[in-house]
Structure 1
Amino acid sequence: MTKENHTKYAILGLLTTGCHSGYSIKQMIDGSLNHFWKISYGQIYPTLKQLVEEGLATVKDTTQTGKPNKKEYYLTSDGKTALQSWLNNPIEAIPTEKNELLLKLFFSRHQHADITINQIDHYLNQLTERYHTYLSIEQLITENLLDQADSPFWLITLDYGKRTTKAAIEWCEDTQEKLKE
């Protein structure tokens, strides 16, 4: 059984948010999706090309003054149906998180406890920075984007990120205390 390419559905979904060029899709990914779904810049255009080939999107060249033509992509009715079908299906499996810190901790009996504590402290600082980024995104949405039809769902997704990050911060603090004992 081949594994489904969910990036295809991420791009289909982004086309519904007013992102129609590869550049605007990349901007939206960098500002939101990359916090929970990694899509490299190198995946965007091949995926868009695939969507057009499958009849799920169309492409239109838009002339720009003093710039090269811009390709804009739009969902077809088949694309809307494919997105809706994917949205209606349950998730296949709970994803397995790859976490280098946890991998290192698993084998940390082979290093001094101070090094492990410092690694956790570094991770804690990164998590704290991420949490503040989420708060900034939340403020941006609530102050500027509440009129968007997608905003309640963006806030729900963001809430998941905030809660899991806060839990990870608490775990770091508890783990550091255990290792100091």
Structure 2
Amino acid sequence: MKSYNATTYAILGILTTECKSGYAIKQLIDESLNHFWKISYGKIYPSLKLIAQDELAEVCTSSGHGKPDSNEYYLTSKGLEVLKDWLEKPIEQLPTERNEVLLKLFFGRYQDREKKVLHLENDKQELEERYQTYISIEQAIINHKDNDEDSLYWLCTLDYGKRTTKAAIDWCDFTLNKFL
């Protein structure tokens, strides 16, 4: 079976939801996947073209009143099998993190105490904002009754984000106390 890149598999997965157009896919990525899996806007349409070309999805063109035509993509049975096959394979990489705050702190001996504190306080504030975003997303998922089959999985991935963000906030507090 042909192998695809992670973006293609992610888009195949998105096509199992109500998101069928490139625009709707981009919105879902921005609102949910982007918190743990980055996909640039410029990769969506080439991936959709490949998915259609390889008959993993059918393309239907719809025209709206006064709006330009738009393509909608519907997963084929072949596309679903490719997605399922990928989901069954072992994880190839452990998550890695690039964290500029940690990098600067690692060399913190050469940095002013005020700058260290400022970086940590800013990081903590951004993490707290992210945590509140996760709470909002969680409420939206809980209140959205149409996706009961997917909700459990979405909430599990969201829980990971909440827990790691909460741990990072706690780490900021602990570390700030060393410099205050």
1:31-71 CA distances to partner (integer Å, 9 max, x unpaired)? 11111111121111111011112221221111222111110
Secondary structure of 2:20's counterpart equals: coil
Alignment RMSD (CA, Å): 1.5
After TM superposition, give the deviation of residue 4 of structure 1 in Å. 5.8
TM-score, scaled relative to structure 2: 0.94
Structure 2 unpaired stretches of 5+: none
Q: Which residue in 2 is equivalent to 1:126?
A: 126
After TM superposition, give the deviation of residue 147 of structure 1 in Å. 4.7
After TM superposition, give the deviation of residue 148 of structure 1 in Å. 2.9
Q: Which residue in 2 is equivalent to 1:115?
A: 115
Matched, 1:81 2:81: yes
1:55-99 CA distances to partner (integer Å, 9 max, x unpaired)? 212211112221111101111221111100111112112021111
TM-score, scaled relative to structure 1: 0.93
* Letter matched to residue 50 of structure 2: Q
The number of residues matched between the two structures is: 178
Secondary structure of 1:64's counterpart equals: coil
Name the CA distance, whole Å, in 2 between partners of 1:101 and 1:138: 27
Q: Greater shift after overlay, 65-74 or 167-176?
A: 65-74
Matched, 1:72 2:72: yes
Name the CA distance, whole Å, in 1 between partners of 2:87 and 2:104: 36
Q: Residue 54 and residue 134 in structure 1: after superposition, are their counterparts in 2 closer, same or farther (change >3 A)?
A: same
1:134-154 CA distances to partner (integer Å, 9 max, x unpaired)? 011111111223653201111
Secondary structure of 2:94's counterpart equals: coil
Q: Percent identity?
A: 56
Name the CA distance, whole Å, in 2 between partners of 1:60 and 1:45: 15
Secondary structure of 2:18's counterpart equals: coil
* Letter matched to residue 51 of structure 1: I
After TM superposition, give the deviation of residue 15 of structure 1 in Å. 0.3
Secondary structure of 1:34's counterpart equals: helix
- Regions of 4+ moved over 2 Å: 144-148
Q: Residue 6 and residue 68 in structure 1: after superposition, are their counterparts in 2 closer, same or farther (change >3 A)?
A: same
Matched, 1:54 2:83: no
